[in-house]
Structure 1
């Protein structure tokens, strides 16, 4: 029988990220193991050797920080632009960062009505945690039922393997079937270096994801799961009389951080995907395969601090501005005013000037509807592209009558 002794990851432990017990998002001690947490550890097992510090690629003069992780990345949330990275596209074991896709699929099913918050999910023999000291669990009793919203919290906050397997079976009939849904969604989002085999992130040679792909997924969660995203900032969750704390140490130490997920296996090392919003700018960080919970927290702090110090928001073109008058063929008007369809901001290196250029669709012909995309505006800084946005028609242009079109055809032939 499982013990139901209270287990709390104290605030003091979270502040000292390396002291979190356990530090794994895929593996963690069950509640009854908490009484052994103070036992001395063998020095050799305290942490794995640190990966070599890898300098990153960035547009910032002076370069990016060198972090001792196998891969890392800093992304601007608004644009999706990668501001700095090292080894961003290598498929690596993601450990429990996998559960971001599991939770995202649950959130999207809730949004679409395929699932309801109070739907009941049954814990099968396969999903049930058996009290092992090697798994991170929500501690759902065997053959019990839990609501979808509790399951979602168990996945996000407690990193529950049991919760992840149970919802996978509920939504797709099996974890294998759910993995197909995960991969289909990854493809839709543009995660080109990812392959999911399970819903938990437990080790499998074919189970991989890249730092860039995980940032893309984090951005989708923040953007498309706004009703449920606050769960990623919750510090603890109590279920089955067992209270467990969120393993993301930055939630306790940095008020600008509001998610997302930790992960750890021996193969994957210590991993962390984080989002932070300061002064209207949201940044996403990914740290993969560093050697301790302390290191993943410290490196994330360093990367966020560097990002906010070296980048700023820029508005290349003010809203409601006519960017250009685009030439229109065979219309009752020869041109149409063109501007932005929505406000446009970029994240650029501090102090750098932004230039814009306009590209209108060639041979634009009437009719043209107000709001139709007729080109794009491209922003560059120091000669490098930093973003683009659609150019839209600001008015309708009706197609000219038959006689006028005939004259316009003749004029076009003679280059008039």
Structure 2
């Protein structure tokens, strides 16, 4: 609703002992999330030469916040709160202008300009879907709201969100070498939804690239390949393919036999 830089520092010190230690945790988490163009230098985001990110990385971070911490999400749509007899209004104008918008976070510094991560939920077939927009470096509060609204409207009008695979759905059962079983089911450990340009869903063709040969032991949820969904000779989506079950090693005789077969192969 309102930024509290002093509160950020206080929380950082409470969690990690010092702000520097907390920033190290932030950067470690960013790396684990695949935020390749993000680096944190402090806990609050005020300007620093070593504090930077991108719209792409911020969209990934926002999506993870929505998915991983739904218990906090209602805070982002709070239009105001009062503490110590002071009313603090939310600076996200879209909460008043678009009833489908329910978040997420504004920001402004002289060097970064006016920024907004906005998100909206609208009908999608028999259900709903959520889109996230990220606008950075605009010249005013009004402009960031206008550009965010344009992006959200454009996204809903020109893209579809479709379900491709179910959690635990086996897309193949390839051969396993040196294992206690001859095959392993592979697929995804979560429902796979993708947002793609309208009209592309019917054109997409899967291209599975396995990490062959698959040699036991194989841990459940370990990566065994990559699924590329192609349309018009372009990669639309690229997804890691996982082992849906654990495969232990075979006996010493079984491993020796498969070693000979692999050598001949």
Shorter-chain TM-score bucket reads: 0.7 to 0.9
Q: What TM-score results when the alignment is normalised by the length of structure 2?
A: 0.79
CA deviations 1:322-364 (Å, max 9, x no partner) are: 4223122244654444444332222111111211122222222
- Please point out which of 227, 230, 234 is paired with 1:380: 230
Preserved contact between residue 178 and residue 199 of structure 1 (Cα < 8 Å): yes
Within 5 A, what are the aligned runs for 1:113-132?
Answer: none
Tell me how far apart the structure 2 counterparts of residues 184 and 369 of structure 1 sit (CA, whole Å): 24
Query: What is the match of residue 350 of structure 1?
Result: 198
Query: What is the match of residue 244 of structure 1?
Result: 88
Tell me how far apart the structure 2 counterparts of residues 413 and 302 of structure 1 sit (CA, whole Å): 59
Evaluate the alpha carbon distance shift between residue 388 and residue 411 of structure 1 in structure 2; reply closer, same or farther with a 3 A threshold. closer
Preserved contact between residue 223 and residue 240 of structure 2 (Cα < 8 Å): no
Shift of 1:228: 1.7
SS in 1 for 2:120: strand
SS in 2 for 1:345: strand
Within 5 A, what are the aligned runs for 1:269-288?
Answer: 269-278=113-122, 279=124, 280-288=128-136
Shift of 1:388: 1.0
Which is richer in strand? 2
Within 5 A, what are the aligned runs for 1:69-148?
Answer: none
Evaluate the alpha carbon distance shift between residue 409 and residue 308 of structure 1 in structure 2; reply closer, same or farther with a 3 A threshold. same
Query: What is the match of residue 139 of structure 2?
Result: 291
Shift of 1:219: 2.4
Within 5 A, what are the aligned runs for 1:143-154?
Answer: none
Shift of 1:201: 3.7
Tell me how far apart the structure 2 counterparts of residues 388 and 363 of structure 1 sit (CA, whole Å): 19
Tell me how far apart the structure 2 counterparts of residues 254 and 262 of structure 1 sit (CA, whole Å): 16
Tell me how far apart the structure 2 counterparts of residues 393 and 173 of structure 1 sit (CA, whole Å): 40
Query: What is the match of residue 224 of structure 1?
Result: 68
Larger Rg computed on CA atoms: 1
Tell me how far apart the structure 2 counterparts of residues 178 and 225 of structure 1 sit (CA, whole Å): 20
Shift of 1:173: 5.4
Unpaired segments ≥5 residues, structure 1: 1-156
1:364 matched to 2:214: yes
Shift of 1:290: 0.9
Shift of 1:382: 2.4
Preserved contact between residue 336 and residue 397 of structure 1 (Cα < 8 Å): no
Query: RMSD value over aligned CA atoms?
Result: 3.2
Query: What is the match of residue 164 of structure 1?
Result: 8
- Please point out which of 186, 193, 215 is paired with 2:59: 215
- Please point out which of 375, 390, 406 is paired with 2:241: 390
Shift of 1:400: 5.4
Tell me how far apart the structure 2 counterparts of residues 204 and 405 of structure 1 sit (CA, whole Å): 56
Preserved contact between residue 173 and residue 186 of structure 2 (Cα < 8 Å): yes
Shift of 1:300: 0.4
> In terms of mean alpha carbon deviation, does 171-180 or 278-287 score higher?
171-180
The structure whose RCO (Cα within 8 Å, separation 6+) is larger is: 1
Shift of 1:299: 0.4
Q: What TM-score results when the alignment is normalised by the length of structure 1?
A: 0.53
- Number of residue-to-residue matches in the alignment: 258
Query: What is the match of residue 149 of structure 2?
Result: 301
Query: What is the match of residue 161 of structure 2?
Result: 313
> In terms of mean alpha carbon deviation, does 210-219 or 343-352 score higher?
210-219
Unpaired segments ≥5 residues, structure 2: none
CA deviations 1:190-223 (Å, max 9, x no partner) are: 3343444444444445443322232233223223
Query: What is the match of residue 327 of structure 1?
Result: 175
Shift of 1:393: 4.5
SS in 2 for 1:227: helix
Evaluate the alpha carbon distance shift between residue 301 and residue 240 of structure 1 in structure 2; reply closer, same or farther with a 3 A threshold. same
